[in-house]
Copies of this chain bind each other. A is one copy, B any other.
Amino acid sequence: MTISIGLIAFEGCIGSSVHALADLFTTANAINRQMGRQGDLFSTQVLTPNGSSVTASSGHEIPSDGVLRADVPAEVLMVPGIGMEAVGEIDETLAQMRPLIDTLAEQATHRKITTASCTGTFLLAEAGVLTGQQATTTWWLASEFAKRYPSIDLRSGEILVDAGPVITSAAGTSYLDLALHVISRLADPQTAHLCAKFMVVDGGRTSQRPYTIPWHFMKRDPLIEKAAAWVRQEITREVSVATLATHLNMSPRTLHRRLSRDHQQTPQEFIQEIRMQEAMRLLETTKQSVAEVGIGIGYADENTFRRAFSAHIGTTPTQHRMRFREG
């Protein structure tokens, strides 16, 4: 039995998300044939809000195979990311997309699985499909997502969250991880594994944290910006929550409430995040040894730094440098 996949596309969507999903399901079919099995595992069709072509965020057109409605036989609906650049665009973007959100709210209930990647997770959140579920989203909008949807259990460090009937994936090309996961779940793990090798995709990614960039996170909240600047300035020393609060002219309790409300972090988590962002920056852009990077962010002992980095980022300092060395 061929599983029909509905690839949602809309004005301003991430075009590579739509086409990469299509290509990975096509690859799964090719592998199935190579293994001597009959028939296609998957078929894909592009569904757009009113059945017309849409223009992706890159400016390139994506033709439509039909409208998303009740009589379309798609067992799986997959929502791509929305091409956005700034937090300030979200309200207007979601307001414009209200008809699609309403359609998703109605149609998702008739499908076996609904997925979204990157900023597309906001569409499923608005549609109510994620309420009470675990989910992930794109790293640079994670605190915005958490603030808007307190009833969704956000796991923003994860590349992919499978909550059964709804699966979400993280920023950018995490649509590759998503496609492999759907192939593994609906076909079998071996086919997904071979797809990963054919398409030269790393199958074992679990954490989104190595990809985060500090400057983006910092730009929108003066308090956070001031706090981050001070943690960075004092980074070679031990920064306590009490001294940070004093520097910000507030009580530790107010700092805790403010960070918890707007960024879903405790002050300790916030301080640790700034330190680890700085460690990533030093690993990526300097030739300092791992021990020197550790000292640079206040870890006198190299092994303690190595353990803390791995626990927070999900890879070792050396692996991180190999993956993200600048230039």
Q: State whether A26 and B189 are in contact (beta carbons under 8 Å apart), knowing that A171-B198, A200-B171, A200-B208 are contacts in the complex.
A: no
Q: Is A63 an interface residue (CB 8 A)?
A: yes
- A200 in complex: contacting residue of B20, B170, B190, B200, CB < 8 Å: B170
A121-180 interface (Cβ within 8 A of B): 140, 159, 170-174, 176
> In the complex, which residues of chain B have a beta carbon less than 8 angstroms from the beta carbon of A171?
198-200
B33 touches A85 (CB 8 A): yes
> In the complex, which residues of chain B have a beta carbon less than 8 angstroms from the beta carbon of A189?
326-327
A58 touches B323 (CB 8 A): no
> In the complex, which residues of chain B have a beta carbon less than 8 angstroms from the beta carbon of A213?
194, 197-198
Q: Is A251 an interface residue (CB 8 A)?
A: no
B85 touches A59 (CB 8 A): no
B56 touches A19 (CB 8 A): yes
Q: Is A279 an interface residue (CB 8 A)?
A: no
Can you list 11 A-B pairs, Cβ within 8 angstroms, ordered by A? A33-B85, A60-B62, A171-B200, A173-B173, A193-B324, A196-B324, A197-B212, A200-B211, A202-B323, A202-B324, A203-B324
> In the complex, which residues of chain B have a beta carbon less than 8 angstroms from the beta carbon of A173?
20, 173, 176, 199-201
A203 touches B23 (CB 8 A): no
A197-243 interface (Cβ within 8 A of B): 197-204, 208, 211-213, 216
A1-47 interface (Cβ within 8 A of B): 14-16, 18-20, 22-23, 25-27, 30, 33-34, 44, 46
> In the complex, which residues of chain B have a beta carbon less than 8 angstroms from the beta carbon of A19?
15-16, 18-20, 56, 58, 60
A82-119 interface (Cβ within 8 A of B): 83, 85
